[in-house]
Structure 1
Amino acid sequence: MSFQRTRMSTDRTLMSVMRTSISLISFGFTIGQFFERLRTSKILPQESHAPRNFGVALVALGIFMLVLGIIYHLHYMRTLRHERLAMTREGLIHGETPYPVSMTLLVAVVMLLLGVLAIISMTTHIDPFD
């Protein structure tokens, strides 16, 4: 049971990283889009790129944080699987149940792809969702 608790704890850690990085990505995208609309409606000067750059920086920080969280999760789960396999070989535990891929990891990868699409949209002005 301790392996299952440890695995769930690792999933919760990845979910907290996802929550923070999604907040950064969505806040940065919103700031970028809001000020871009102000620029196109001639409320802000056309040469003002600071708000867009700030939004892009927040999205990039969110993406970077999510990538680090995914890498940490993969490394820790690989270590946990090896430790479980070693304990099974030594007869200390019964390793009959499979160790499936984490659904949290799959959602994190999808959120990473959405973050990459957001930063592409902000920097190249190409809307992938049109």
Structure 2
Amino acid sequence: MSLAAYIPIIGPAIEKLLNLIPDPNERARGEAEFQKSLLAALTAEDSDNRAINKVEAAHSSIFVSGWRPFIGWVCGAALAFQYLIRPFWIWAATIWWPGSPVPPTLDGMLWELVMGMLGIGGLRTIEKWKGVAR
């Protein structure tokens, strides 16, 4: 599968333009050049993002360097509320304050956030097992 297939808008347009080239060798060369330039652009973007992440992590302000840990703590607090605090609250309210309102539930988006965060952590674990982690 070519890299152009991963770009939903530009990919099909480039494929159609490449199909207009009558010579199969020139078409293959044009596709190879496009994929090479696309790969270079994606690699440059990744290195730029890594540089930005390094600068953010080294920043002295907690509002700049602490947003990732903050997201982790918020996710942990949401899980604690949903599966520890809320059930205990409902049980206590049923016993001591009958008729009190039930605390709100968190929607299914919480699991998407948790799985995304754990998926990234899982990849880091695989890196450590293979010995490529720094």
Which of the pair has more CA radius of gyration? 2
TM-score by length of 2: 0.36
Which structure has more relative contact order (CA 8 Å, sep 6+)? It is: 1
